[in-house]
Structure 1
Amino acid sequence: MSTEPGQESGGKSLFSLQRRERLMEELRAHGAITVRDIAAKLGVSELTIRRDVNILADEGLVSRVHGGATLPSPLDRSTAGRATSHSYSIGMVVPSLDYYWPQVISGARGEAEVQNLRIVVRGSAYDAADNRRQVQALLDTQNIDGLIVAPDMGGEHGKELLRWLNALPIPVILAERRAPSEIPAHKLEWVATDHAFGAGMAVRHLWQEGHRMIGCLTDSTSPTSPHVVRGWKQAMNALKIPLDKSIHEDSAKLDNGDRAKHFDRVLELCRASGTTAMLVHSDTQAVAFVQHCVDRGVDVPGSMAIVGYDDEVAYLAEPAISAVRPPKSYVGKVAVQLMAARLAEGRMRPVHRIDLNPELIVRESSVGAPRVVLEDAL
């Protein structure tokens, strides 16, 4: 993380505020400044001055011009009607911008408007090294006061990333992530869906529909899957369904040809074990599994009941798939609420770690059909 002289532990540089005051003094005295001249006068880089000008322009205090800035002009329409400056800037790094996370971002942005906060979003990947690069880019260029991040926590790189986040001089809120107990991340706060609870809801729903052998199909590369598996196992134990005779298969990293063979194997295991229902994470995987069942003449839900997880595309299947729906927008909303409270109260506020319950959306794939032994269907 790049720093400037006089940077305080809270992440707000006092020198940067003084520098912007000098910029405003120069503007009031001369009506305009150039980036090159003011950088030389203050002994900082031109990039630093450009960032200052952008921040002041975003606050409606200056008008940007080529190579510098002027005092605001009524002819500058970019500042017309601009609201008062935001109290803080929050960086947000998520692993995807096209699945699951857009709703989280939307919830965060909506709450940020209420809290008068600025949200700066960067997309990343399910990769600890890229997560760190994106966070570092925010720290270097955006003058952020806090960070909301959904890091990859797998392996040693993931653990090192958590240690680094915990050591940052600004508050960090994890979204849909929890630091493992072996990492002493005493400063990290988080808001996450209780996915184990959601999986348990799905299992109990299938039990109430008459199913007595309920399998689980997950993707081990997903950070959510371990929690889904844990919830499935806990519910199965509570219902006294023998785990040693139950199906739990991993569908990670399968292309179309391998996936078809894999699903055929799953159906064969279901036939042999008398399994008539499956919990499938994610619901994109559930859609593919339903389509495979249809192609193989296995009636859904008559011969195989299915509940997906995430509820991003489950409703598009034929039949529409029941799915556990995490409160995605509320994850973003509550993360911003936590951040606003942390910035307002500082170190006196206790560390908060919040679980949100998902809901089960019941559709055609898991209800309303007579139970048929899969062996007969095949």
Structure 2
Amino acid sequence: MSNDELARSTFAQQRQDQVLHLIRARGSIVVSEVAPELGVSELTIRRDVNQLARRGLVKRVHGGATLPDPEATFSGAPRNRGGRTIGMVVPSYSYYWPSIIAGARAAAATAGVRLLLRTSSYDLADDRRQLRNLLQTPGLQGLILAPDVSAPDSAELLAELDALDLPVVLTERTAPPGASADSLEWASSDHAAGAGMAVRHLHDQGHRRIGLLYPQNSPTSRQLIDGWRDELRRLGEDPTLPLTGISDGFLEAGRDTALDRTLEAVDATGTTALLIHADAAAVAFVQHCTDQGLHVGDDLAVVAYDDEVAALGSPPVSAIRPPKEYVGRLTVELLLARLNEGSQRPVHRVRIGPELHVRESSVRC
């Protein structure tokens, strides 16, 4: 493949990623609206939609595309005829989780396994309700769950899951130290490694005071803090000097107050670069910086954690992308391997590395 062909292929993949991120963020797209937004022709977007549909990631509709029906079976996938049935409970059908669901459904469809999908609401009581409902399913052979392991009473739920007489795999979650979870398996993005990756990238750009902003109640935040702090120390930097804070107010009404205070804190601490979770908050922050006359990338560098909408910012925001589809697929594969091999199989707990996508927001001109 020539350099020109490689560049075109890479650009097409990046554009398809943008289209997929839009569909996941909005639930659906209209080709005639997205084409000018991304600066390409409607024919190009239709081709991208066709490629994504062939991979089972979206569903084509007249004039656009939507997310696949969670209860639908992939085209051409083996039908479940008296085979295995597994259950899955995730916190949401929206932001972040559609990719994990898509990966899980693809693995289940390939194996000819019936996947029963339920959502909770980032609430352990709701997790328990959905779990009870699934356990009443005749022939249920295994469970996949994503409970809020940062909640104060999560240890009790994990102990209940550990005591079940059918295998349980956590998806995008890990049991905290000390939890009764001897039999539980999991597949999760290595968020601490992702934070470290962002810190190294920003350090390579010449930044030394690299701050971190994160949602207060996100199960991911603790890992990001650990990875960010450990990597700064490894690089010989003091993690107590740059700004650390909460990003929750960046997407709420009256957000300018929270954004202004953050910029003031950036200046007061001498912070020159930030890792911001999640990417919607990072895009809002970058937009506010631009409105205040700052040149993002030069005056202040930003890397988002998660990559649902980061590429759509102005300027496009560099992002750490967790391997969500792969996590969903591997979770199902772990559960099926446990069912196939039984108690002879050692407990598997897998962390999967994210990817860094470098864009304008973190690179000096």
Q: TM-score range by the shorter chain?
A: 0.7 to 0.9
Q: In structure 2, what is the equivalent of residue 364 of structure 1?
A: 360
**Residues 291-344 of structure 1: CA distance to partner in whole angstroms, max 9, x if unpaired?**
111222222112111000110111111111100001001001111110111001
| Equivalent residue in structure 1 for 2:206, among 200, 204, 210 | 210
Asked if the contact 2:214/2:277 (under 8 Å) is kept, the reply is: yes
Contact 1:198 1:231 in 2 (8 A): yes
Q: 1:259 to 1:151 in 2, by over 3 A?
A: same
Bigger mean CA deviation after superposition, 297-306 or 318-327: 297-306
The 3 A distance-change label for structure 1 pair 142 and 290 is farther
Does residue 1:273 correspond to 2:233, yes or no?
no
State how many pairs are aligned: 289
One-letter identity of the residue aligned with 1:104? I
Alpha-carbon separation, structure 2, partners of 1:347 and 1:156: 31
| Residue type at the aligned position of 1:335 | T
Q: Is the 8 A contact 1:86 1:117 kept in 2?
A: no
Task: Indicate if the aligned counterparts of 2:155 and 2:180 stay in contact, CA closer than 8 A.
Answer: no
Question: Of 182, 188, 193, which aligns to 1:192?
Answer: 188
- 2:145 counterpart of 1:149: yes
> Would you say 1:105 and 2:101 are equivalent positions?
yes
Q: State, as a whole percentage, how many aligned pairs show the same letter.
A: 49
The answer as to whether partners of 1:311 and 1:323 remain within 8 angstroms in 2 is yes
Deviations 1:213-262 (A, max 9, x none): 11101112110111111110011111112122121101236663553222
- Matching residue within 301, 316, 327 for 1:320: 316
Q: Quick one: distance in 2 between partners of 1:210 and 1:221?
A: 31
Mapped to 1, the partners of 2:238 and 2:79 lie a distance apart of 60
* Distance in 2, Cα, partners of 1:86 & 1:287: 47
Of 96, 113, 136, the match for 1:117: 113
Residues 1:82 and 1:284: Cα distance change in structure 2 (over 3 Å): closer
Give the secondary structure class of the aligned counterpart of 2:212.
Answer: strand
**Distance in 1 separating the partners of 2:80 and 2:133:** 26
Is the CA contact (8 Å cut-off) linking 2:215 and 2:246 kept in structure 1? yes
Work out the CA distance in 1 between the residues paired with 2:159 and 2:350: 20
Assess if the C-alpha contact under 8 Å between 2:190 and 2:354 holds in 1: yes
Cα-to-partner distance string for 1:327-373 (whole Å, 9 max, x where unaligned): 0010011111101110011111111101100010111111132xxxx
The question of 1:223 aligning with 2:182 is answered no
Q: Would the alpha carbon gap of residues 123 and 180 (structure 1) be closer, same or farther in structure 2, given more than 3 Å must change?
A: same
Retained in 2: the 8 A contact 1:86–1:116? no
Equivalent position of 2:162 in the other structure: 166
Question: Contact 1:94/1:122 (CA < 8 Å) preserved in 2?
Answer: yes
User: What secondary structure, in the 3-state scheme, does the structure 2 residue paired with 1:199 have?
Assistant: helix
Deviates more, 1:293-302 or 1:98-107: 293-302
Distance 2:79 2:122 in 1: 36
Structure 1 residue 163: deviation in Å? 1.2
Contact 1:129 1:157 in 2 (8 A): no
Q: Structure 1 residues 312, 84: CA separation in 2 closer, same or farther (over 3 Å shift)?
A: closer
Aligned twin of 2:288: 292
1:194/1:357 contact within 8 Å kept: yes
* Equivalent-residue separation in structure 1 for 2:105 and 2:78 (angstroms): 17
**2:342 alignment partner AA:** G
SS of aligned partner of 2:308: coil
* Mapped partners of 1:197, 1:324: distance in 2: 10
User: Offset of 1:82 from its aligned partner?
Assistant: 8.3
| 2:293 is the counterpart of 1:333 | no
Partner of 2:102, secondary structure, is helix
3-state DSSP class of the match of 1:141? coil
Q: Which residue in the other structure is 1:181 paired with?
A: 177
Structure 1 pair 142–318 and aligned structure 2 pair: CA distance change class (3 A): farther
Q: Which runs of 5+ in 2 are unaligned?
A: 1-76
RMSD over equivalenced CA pairs, Å: 1.7
**Deviations, residues 269-307 of structure 1 (Å, cap 9, x unaligned):** 221222111000010110111111122222211211100
The answer to whether the aligner puts 1:304 opposite 2:290 as a matched pair is: no
TM-score, normalised to structure 1, is 0.73
- Deviation for aligned residue 1:135: 1.3
Contact 2:212/2:244, CA 8 A, preserved across alignment: yes
